[in-house]
Amino acid sequence: MLQLSVLKDQTERVLAGLAKRNFKTAEADVRAVLDLDQRRRSLQTQHDQAQSEANELARQIGGLMKSGDKAGAEALKVRTTELKAQIKLHADELTATEKAQTELLYKIPNVPHESVPAGRSAEDNEVVREAGTKPELAAGALPHWELIKKYDIIDFELGIKITGAGFPVYKGQGARLQRALVNFFLDEARDAGYLEVQPPILVNEASGYGTGQLPDKEGQMYHDAADNLYLIPTSEVPITNLYRDEIIPVEKLPIRNTGYTPCFRREAGSWGADVRGLNRLHQFDKVEIVQITQPDNSYAAHATMVAHVEQLLQKLELPYRVLRLCGGDMGFTSALTYDLEVWSAAQGRWLEVSSVSNFEAFQANRLKCRYKVEGGKTQLLHTLNGSALALPRIVAALLENNQTAEGIRLPQVLHAYCGFDTIK
């Protein structure tokens, strides 16, 4: 959530940034928030003045009663009754105004960083760099959805039988590859200085609002109405919410956490060839990295997170590219996002496997995640997160890019984790 001080002091910058996102109601929404803030301030002044007058009259009434001037006291009590009614009216209006202001603030996305290119869709994203060599596959090479049948390592039909489409069953070497990748990613994150945590996979409404999934993406999350809990779309949600309503000592910054969880997304409206097999699922496994830093350090931290993900892809021997997302393709809460994609040889296209985002103070403002600066004042921190990594499309690329007549040869770094070097 954008800070009111930013909206007031940097209105033109905010509007210019929101224009990069093609946010059509930006000017109307920002002006409405500022108008509500003026109304709130006016009501607060009236409330405080009435309260101050009531307090003074109460003091005078006490004096009059002590001096025996009951008539004078009763006359002042009439005014006190009027003031109490005004105070209640002002308090009710303040509550309504603050609620309307907050609800409107929840609708306004984050302001993009100055480096974010303008654009409307993924077609306008900027390719920052590309690395690795695309493999040349032999004639008759298969896409991963055919390979998993050939080697009997993932069963989509069993998943449909148990749950529904988009919930595959991993088995044999497929299950072991999943576990190997999770352990590899967690170990790499630990070696990079991240503390491993194992968070809940159900979160409450406050957590959804804290990281910005609510009210923006409630339609994409599975919801347990009986307990009003949500299955997490990413472990960013519970891990970042560990620090909701916290004032973090400077000496504990930066915070670096990593965690593995299953993730759940309804992916409503998704269909077509581009989402076949592992390309898009309702349930999938992912290792996440999260940092919480002082504002001056957040973009340096962001760069190290992108480099960390690149290192993982290099060790997996997967050709990849890094994209800077344009304003129209960026997530609601992000100020700057880099996507990392791997080359899927049999499909002949790039597959997104990671998004690394700096949210600046947008999430922290919702979370009330702060630290104390010099003089004892509190200031909002910056939050960041990235996939390191999401498994399904990594598995798809590994299967397709490494298929041979003898089987699917896995990269060296996974041999010890899997206990085998080839899927046969």
Q: Residue 292: which region, alpha, beta or left (left: phi > 0; alpha: psi -120 to 50)?
A: beta
Spatial strand order of the sheet with 229-231 comes to 202-204, 229-231, 223-224
Confirm if 325 and 123 have CB atoms less than 8 A apart. no
Same domain (yes/no): 371, 408: yes
d(C-alpha 184, C-alpha 175), whole Å: 14
pLDDT tens-digit readout, 199-214: 999 999 999 999 999 9
Domain-embedded: residue 113: no
Confirm if 234 and 211 have CB atoms less than 8 A apart. no
Confirm if 3 and 365 have CB atoms less than 8 A apart. yes
The domain boundary residue, chosen from 107, 139, 155: 107
Compute the C-alpha angle 141/395/173, nearest 5°: 90
Q: In which residue are the tokens 């929840």 written?
A: 106
Same domain (yes/no): 174, 255: yes
Same domain (yes/no): 45, 96: yes
pLDDT tens-digit readout, 79-92: 999 999 999 999 99
234 annotated ligand binder: yes
The conformation of residue 260, written as its DSSP 8-state character, comes to E
d(C-alpha 17, C-alpha 193), whole Å: 34
- Residues 6 or more apart from 28 whose CB is under 8 A from it? none
The whole-chain average pLDDT of the chain stands at: 96
Domain-embedded: residue 115: no
Confirm if 30 and 14 have CB atoms less than 8 A apart. yes
Three-state DSSP at 131 gives strand
Same domain (yes/no): 126, 102: no
Q: In which residue are the tokens 């994203």 written?
A: 125
Maximal C-alpha separation, the chain: 108
pLDDT tens-digit readout, 164-184: 999 999 999 999 999 999 999
Domain-embedded: residue 117: no
We report the CATH number of the domain holding residue 26 as 1.10.287.40
- Residues 6 or more apart from 365 whose CB is under 8 A from it? 1, 2, 3, 380
Domain-embedded: residue 358: yes
Domain-embedded: residue 405: yes
pLDDT tens-digit readout, 242-264: 999 999 999 999 999 999 999 99
d(C-alpha 299, C-alpha 297), whole Å: 6
Give me 288's structure tokens.
């996440």
Same domain (yes/no): 96, 151: no
236 annotated ligand binder: no
Q: Pick from 184, 186, 151: which is nearest to 170 by CA?
A: 151
52 annotated ligand binder: no
pLDDT tens-digit readout, 282-334: 999 999 999 999 999 999 999 999 999 999 999 999 999 999 999 999 999 99
The domain boundary residue, chosen from 82, 107, 132: 107
What is the count of structural domains for the chain? 2
Domain-embedded: residue 112: no
Partners of 409 in the beta sheet? 422
> Given this model, what pLDDT does residue 216 score?
76
The domain of 92 spans: 4-107
Confidence label for 270 from pLDDT (cuts 50, 70 and 90): low
Same domain (yes/no): 50, 154: no
Output the DSSP codes for 316-359: TT--EEEEEPPGGGS-TT-SEEEEEEEEETTTTEEEEEEEEEE-
393 annotated ligand binder: no
Same domain (yes/no): 214, 77: no
Output the DSSP codes for 48-94: HHHHHHHHHHHHHHHHHHHHT-HHHHHHHHHHHHHHHHHHHHHHHHH
d(C-alpha 111, C-alpha 357), whole Å: 13
Same domain (yes/no): 99, 144: no
353 annotated ligand binder: yes
266 annotated ligand binder: yes
Is 70 exceeded by the pLDDT of residue 237? yes
Same domain (yes/no): 50, 163: no
Q: What is the reported pTM?
A: 0.93
We report the CATH number of the domain holding residue 303 as 3.30.930.10
The domain boundary residue, chosen from 77, 107, 137: 107
197 annotated ligand binder: no
Same domain (yes/no): 60, 194: no
Neighbours of 282 (CB within 10 A): 19
> Given this model, what pLDDT does residue 217 score?
78
267 annotated ligand binder: yes
- Residues 6 or more apart from 126 whose CB is under 8 A from it? 117, 323, 324, 326
Same domain (yes/no): 102, 140: no
Same domain (yes/no): 87, 195: no
